[in-house]
Amino acid sequence: MPGIIDSLSRRERDSLPEAVKLEELFSYHAPTPEDIAKYEALRTATKGLVREILTVCQPSADRSAAICLIREGLMTANASIALKGLSL
């Protein structure tokens, strides 16, 4: 049932059976024009933060870890947009 969540309110999404939520969590969600703008805004902000880290932090395992965690945060934020806040 990909796409079912797009038309549901937050309360309706929360009350979906777990099997439906699971299907949605692992389905492709084509971005809407609004989603694309949100993804671009997040990428722009994230790139700025990473550029600042590259400028002010010495090359190190900690700097690399910070950048990896920022990338992970971006991917998680993107998932939140795609899934419209749906979770198990």
Give the Cα separation of 32 and 78 in Å (integer).
13
Confidence of residue 71 (pLDDT cuts 50, 70, 90): very high
Chain centroid to CA 59: how far?
27
The pLDDT value recorded for residue 47 is 98
Residue 54 contacts by C-beta under 8 Å, 6 or more apart in sequence?
A: 63, 67
- Structure tokens of 24? 């949605």
pLDDT tens-digit readout, 2-41: 466 777 888 888 888 889 889 888 989 999 999 999 999 9
Chain centroid to CA 72: how far?
9
Domain boundaries, the chain: 4-82
pTM of this prediction? 0.82
Q: Residue 62: pLDDT above 80?
A: yes
Mean of the per-residue pLDDT values for the chain? Answer: 91
Q: Among positive and negative, which fits the CA dihedral 76, 81, 83, 86?
A: positive
Give the Cα separation of 51 and 39 in Å (integer).
18
